[in-house]
């Protein structure tokens, strides 16, 4: 899979909004180390030196050695930055942009530097942490809790289709681990993702990372809360735990892999994608919808008759606290445009609703699907330190529906 093959990639320079979002993502990975050092250790050193001298001396000495802890955190951030800069560099190469930082921008060479917003910088940090879940050996339990029910449902369906290879769509593909696992299982799989942070990171790990265990990641280093001891705080993992290209190349009959960089609603709700997939697998995705009916309509559109809709996830509605219409990629929406039903904005369309799990399942049936399997209460952590004193565990819903 190549970043240059992302469907919708050609719009990145032509559309000013797309360009801004892409450049913000690139800049945020480039700035990761500077921002993380400032927010994580620099400010803490200032606060530490503001303590009463007697207290400072206690905490500076063993067994606390707080300044040594801050130095160790700085070292961990530098290791994380190696991964962040590798993503940044691969992104520049993929989009044909020069690496040199002293090049003067021209009409034909727009500068990506300084484009990251506060939100972009936070997304870069959270994307790095997500590698723990999707591409470390330690994240296997998290992955299996959510991906195995999907894989089982699709394998059972494949077995009933007399060897005809199924084509599967994974919306909200993130770092593409589920896409990769499905391809390894023999499914032709297309991932879709709107976030350039996720797209740049997944493209790096799939296409550019030279070996397994190429990077050391410290997933819990940015927060000082709820650690049982410093060893837990400074725990590292090796990513990726496998080399994707090597593993895929060793499989006798893998599926084909592709990714699309686009708004899910605009791409898969169109006539060109009507009835093109045998299955759609949504994992921790449905609750990213401002209006879930739009999501289900797009899924129904791109599924062939009798196709499967497989879901695993909670309902942490992402836009619950947003003002109406303020969805998507933080674009400056034109009220005249958003009110025009003939000019759909995809996820940025106005209107939002939050349903219960019971209501979602009822809606799925009402919109043209038969629920064939339903399970509730799957224990599903999400980028969770198993040693933390605070455990956030979802009780996920899982169901399999068939298009009527």
Q: Is the pLDDT of residue 395 over 50?
A: yes
pLDDT tens for residues 278-320? Answer: 999 999 999 999 999 999 999 999 999 999 999 999 999 999 9
Res 344: pLDDT = 63
Query: Is 250 part of a structural domain of the chain?
Result: yes
Tokens of 287: 């609750």
- Cα Rg of the chain, angstroms: 22
Tokens 């959270």 correspond to 126
Res 340: pLDDT = 39
Query: Is 328 part of a structural domain of the chain?
Result: no
Measured in degrees and rounded to the nearest 5, phi and psi for residue 48 equal -65, -45
Query: Is 334 part of a structural domain of the chain?
Result: no
What Å distances lie between residue 265 and 136, 306, 348, 351, CA to CA?
31, 21, 10, 14
Helix/strand/coil percent split, the chain, to 5: 45, 15, 35
Parent domain of 277: 15-98+112-322+345-403
Q: Is the pLDDT of residue 27 over 90?
A: yes
Model confidence band, residue 6 (pLDDT cutoffs 50, 70, 90): low
Nearest Cα neighbor of 193 from 260, 279, 276 is 260
Chain-centroid distance, C-alpha 323: 24
pLDDT tens for residues 74-87? Answer: 999 999 999 999 99
Query: Is 376 part of a structural domain of the chain?
Result: yes
Question: What average pLDDT does the chain have?
Answer: 90
Query: Is 58 part of a structural domain of the chain?
Result: yes
pLDDT tens for residues 153-178? Answer: 999 999 999 878 999 999 999 999 99
368 burial level (CB within 10 Å; 0-12, 13-18, 19+) = middle
Q: Which CATH number does the domain housing residue 308 bear?
A: 3.40.50.150
Query: Is 332 part of a structural domain of the chain?
Result: no
Query: Is 103 part of a structural domain of the chain?
Result: no
Query: Is 285 part of a structural domain of the chain?
Result: yes
Q: Write the DSSP string, 84-96.
A: HHHHHHHHHHHTT
pLDDT tens for residues 33-56? Answer: 999 999 999 999 999 999 999 999
How many domains would you assign to the chain?
1
pTM: 0.91
């Amino acid at each position: 899979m190549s970043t240059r093959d992302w469907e919708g990639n050609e719009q990145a320079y032509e559309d000013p909004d797309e360009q801004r979002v892409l450049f913000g993502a690139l800049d945020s990975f480039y700035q990761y180390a500077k921002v993380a050092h400032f927010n994580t250790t620099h400010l803490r050193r200032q606060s530490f030196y503001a303590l009463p001298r007697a207290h400072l001396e206690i905490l500076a000495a063993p067994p606390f050695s707080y300044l040594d802890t801050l130095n160790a955190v700085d070292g961990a951030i530098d290791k994380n930055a190696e991964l962040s800069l590798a993503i940044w560099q691969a992104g520049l190469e993929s989009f044909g942009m020069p690496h040199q930082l002293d090049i003067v921008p021209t009409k034909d060479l727009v500068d990506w530097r300084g484009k990251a917003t506060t939100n972009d910088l936070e997304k870069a940090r959270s994307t790095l942490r997500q590698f723990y879940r999707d591409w470390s050996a330690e994240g296997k339990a998290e992955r299996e809790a959510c991906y195995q029910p999907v894989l089982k449902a699709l394998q059972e369906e494949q077995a009933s289709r007399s060897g005809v290879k199924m084509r599967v769509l994974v919306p909200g593909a993130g770092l593409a681990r589920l896409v990769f696992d499905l391809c390894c299982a023999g499914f032709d799989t297309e991932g879709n993702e709107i976030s350039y942070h996720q797209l740049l990171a997944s493209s790096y790990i799939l296409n550019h990372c030279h070996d397994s265990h190429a990077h050391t990641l410290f997933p819990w280093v940015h927060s000082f809360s709820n650690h049982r001891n410093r060893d837990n705080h400074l725990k590292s993992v090796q990513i990726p735990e496998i080399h994707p290209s090597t593993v895929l190349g060793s499989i006798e009959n893998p599926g084909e892999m592709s990714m699309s960089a686009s708004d899910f609603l605009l791409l898969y709700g169109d006539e060109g994608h009507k009835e093109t997939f045998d299955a759609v697998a949504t994992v921790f995705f449905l609750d990213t919808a401002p209006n879930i009916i739009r999501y289900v309509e797009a899924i129904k559109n791109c599924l062939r008759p009798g196709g499967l809709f497989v879901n695993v996830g909670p309902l942490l509605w992402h836009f619950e606290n947003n003002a109406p219409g303020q969805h998507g990629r933080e674009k400056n929406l034109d009220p005249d445009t958003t009110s025009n039903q003939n000019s759909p904005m995809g996820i940025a369309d106005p209107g939002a609703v939050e349903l219960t799990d019971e209501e979602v399942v009822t809606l799925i049936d009402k919109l043209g699907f038969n629920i064939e399997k339903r399970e509730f209460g799957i224990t599903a952590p999400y980028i969770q330190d198993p040693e933390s004193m605070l455990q956030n565990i979802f009780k996920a819903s899982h169901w399999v529906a068939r298009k009527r």
